[in-house]
Amino acid sequence: MAELYNRNSPCPIAHRGCMEAGPENSHTAFEAAVTLGAGGVEIDVRKTRDGKLVVFHDADVRRLTMGWQGPYCNSKIKDMTWEHISQIRLPFGGHLLKRFPDEGYADEKQYYYPWAAASEQDVLYQMGRLESRSKSEEQLTLAIYRCYKEEYEKLCLEDGRLEQILSLQEFFKWLQTQPDGFFAEVELKERGIAGAVIQMAEKYHVEERCIIFSGIEDVIWEIQDWCKNHGKPDRLRLGANIRYLREEQKEMLERGDFYEVGLNAGAFESSDVEYLHQRGIRVFSNLGDTPVWWETLECLGVDGFKTNCLGAYRKWRQKWEQR
């Protein structure tokens, strides 16, 4: 594993794995994160119709299967069984984040635009044309993908590589084998799964490698309540993606057991980090993959940061250290 940071620098956390190397939340993306020197990975967890826990971000599989012509590619995770999901394939072609603009990505949704399928000018045109019609970031991204359906099918055939959706069980088995200190931020994307996730982490003896968290307030408290009522496993850590540090978030943090919180890039200062550190809470920055932000991180005192651009960060870091 290539070392990307030291204890005096923020720990890079590969958001959904290294999306420059493989489809997000895939085995290839996780392996690449280790190879490139990430300190950990962030994953997303959902539940199938028959109760299987799977590593997947979106509510449905349409965006991640674009270009692949196979079964269930228009289905929602919650409506499928594990048998259905096992038949789905995630194509590499067109889905890797190979573009890193000089100024980086200040707008998070742009990570997921189909730069590989068309010119930058065309993608930005479609983005502007569709933005006012779409109700959510996910709907906008999917609408743009659909504009390039034929291009994605061509890219999928040209590349040929495909991945399967991982079960959480498979991910935890993989996590067992990783270098000492390597950890996973496990984000729960829906209610009703906190206990099952925590028990599975215990079963596979990876609780000390896990930070269980969510960005959904009800789920944050489901995690907290489950640990209060059933006992938190030794060395398991809990977190919350609070995004901003305002009075309501400060009040929330006083009521729970939090090892770390996520704050949006550019939405906090060193005084906020100091406030949290004084209360024993670590700070992980949410994305903000721009060279300016990466340099700012070195001065803010944060403990870690999520990135979708681990390869680009590695190159920037090497140049920055040589100055």
Q: What is the phi-psi region of residue 94: left when phi exceeds 0, alpha when psi lies from -120 to 50, beta otherwise? A: left
Is residue 239 pLDDT above 50, yes or no?
Answer: yes
Indicate which CATH number applies to the domain containing 35: 3.20.20.190
Do residues 157 and 194 both lie within one domain?
A: no
Q: Which of 109, 129, 163 is the last residue of a domain?
A: 163
Domain residues for 207?
11-53+165-321
Rounded to an integer, the average pLDDT of 283-309 is 96
The Cα 18–Cα 46 span in angstroms is: 20
Residue 224 lies in a domain: yes
The answer to whether residue 3 scores a pLDDT higher than 70 is no
Would you state the pLDDT for residue 9? 87
**Number of separate domains in the chain:** 2
**Which residue from 66, 12, 63, 65 is spatially nearest to 41, judged by alpha carbons?**
12
* pLDDT tens-digit readout, 123-182: 999 988 998 888 788 888 889 999 999 999 999 999 999 999 999 999 999 999 999 999
Coil, strand or helix: which one is 114? coil
Residue 195, phi-psi category: left (phi > 0), alpha (psi -120 to 50), beta (remainder):
alpha
Whether residues 158 and 174 fall in one domain: no
Note whether 30 and 65 are same-domain residues. Answer: no
Q: What is the pLDDT of residue 2?
A: 47
Q: Are 235 and 284 found together in one domain?
A: yes
1 within a domain of the structure (yes/no): no
In a shared domain, residues 43 and 173: yes
**pTM to 2 decimal places:** 0.96
Domain assignment present for 3: no
**For 40-86, what is each residue's pLDDT tens digit?**
999 999 999 999 999 999 999 999 999 999 999 999 999 999 999 99
- Location of structure tokens 């209610």: 191
pLDDT at 6: 56
CA-CA distance, 264 to 285, in Å (whole number)?
6
